Amino acid sequence: AKANGGDNYQFFGKEMNTRAVERHFIEGHLRQALDAQEFVLHYQPLVNLQSGRITGAEALLRWNSADRGLVFPPDFITVAEDSGLIVPIGRWVLLEACTQGRRWLHAGLPPVSIAVNISAVEFRRRDFLEGVRSIIEGTGFDPGFLQLEITESALMQDAKAGAAILRELKKLGVQIALDDFGTGYSSLSYLKQFPIDILKIDKSFVQDIDGGNDDGIIVSAVIAMGNSLKKRVVAEGIENAAQLGFLHGLSCEEGQGYLFSRPVTSDALAHLLANGLPL
Ligand code: C2E
Ligand code: CA
Ligand code: CA
Ligand code: CA
């Protein structure tokens, strides 16, 4: 048993080491990725579930790495957060999304809101607000069409400070969405205290909605509550017609998911804005 424990320890140690090397590799390359212009935003349509019209697009970060090809956020966001690199990266994301929004308008496409994910690390910084303000001014993008997505957990790390930042953001005229709703602290009382415009129901609840289990009950409760608090409710991760039918029946206004479209390039999104979804 002792020898076994020794083996386990060795194996564990080796795995830890591999992971440390991997993190080190990613961090080193992330540092250069901004300068090398290796980041790109893809956009996933937000859809009005009644009309089928596109109401917005969520900007989702991709890293087009020279060494590794297209890398997705789960493989680098944590490293970017731990190293602080998420701050300049996040600033680039916001600038790029607002610039793209202006371009689509100038191209004569119907105006849609653009949603940008904000990391807890960015949100907590004292210069975050000023950064948002200067990008809105610099790009001339209508802040009423800018939707900042913040997770419950980012907000609740310091609820009082979080509420103050949200109030300042509201003064800038932006929309606030609570992302991954239901996965965090789920204290419903703060929904009333905080100036939140949109609830995004986490895809983990939507995925099993039709299985006749608790997820359906949770989703229907969240939609009813959101509607009665006059929040916009967006369901994430809609993949099939059964899920859509369920949400439709519960008066969920908006949704997003592979059923409508995967995240696509800015050109492909422009095409969808011009022609509508191929349904
Ligand atoms: P999220 O904000 O919850 O974004 C939704 C994720 O679900 C995206 O993954 C999207 O591609 C995926 N998705 C959309 N529809 C479906 C569906 O029908 N089924 C399934 N299974 N998945 C679907 P992605 O792009 O890999 O992003 C993962 C996470 O990384 C995001 O989760 C967000 O937390 C973070 N992220 C992405 N872009 C940024 C960014 O620019 N800044 C920051 N701070 N975080 C970002
Ligand atoms: Ca999001
Ligand atoms: Ca989400
Ligand atoms: Ca998520």
Of ligand 1's listed atoms, the one at least distance from the Cα of 41 is: 41
Pairing mode of beta strands 113-117, 69-71: unpaired
pLDDT digits (tens, 9 = 90+) for 29-48: 999 999 999 999 999 999 99
Read off the pLDDT of each residue in 13-17 and give the average, rounded to a whole number.
64
Of ligand 1's listed atoms, the one at least distance from the Cα of 80 is: 44
Assess contact for 146 and 170: CB atoms under 8 A.
no
Residue nearest to atom 42 of ligand 1 (CA): 117
pTM above 0.80, yes or no: yes
Read off the pLDDT of each residue in 151-178 and give the average, rounded to a whole number.
93
What's the gap in Å between 34 CA and the centre of ligand 3?
Answer: 24
For residue 1, name the pLDDT band (cuts at 50, 70, 90).
very low
Question: What pLDDT score does 11 carry?
Answer: 53
Assess contact for 46 and 234: CB atoms under 8 A.
yes
Read off the pLDDT of each residue in 64-84 and give the average, rounded to a whole number.
94
Assess contact for 247 and 206: CB atoms under 8 A.
yes
Extract the tokens encoding 18.
């591999």
pLDDT digits (tens, 9 = 90+) for 128-144: 999 999 999 999 999 99
CA distances to 118, 127, 218 from 172, in Å:
16, 15, 33
Asked if the model's pLDDT at residue 83 lies above 60, the reply is yes
List pocket residues of ligand 1, CB cut-off 6 Å: 44, 60-61, 72-74, 77, 90, 93, 117, 119, 179-180, 203, 237-239, 256-258, 263
Task: Say what percent of the chain tops pLDDT 70.
Answer: 92
Asked if the model's pLDDT at residue 8 lies above 70, the reply is no
List the beta bridge partners of residue 184. none
Asked if the model's pLDDT at residue 193 lies above 90, the reply is no
Of ligand 1's listed atoms, the one at least distance from the Cα of 119 is: 44
Residue nearest to atom 7 of ligand 1 (CA): 237
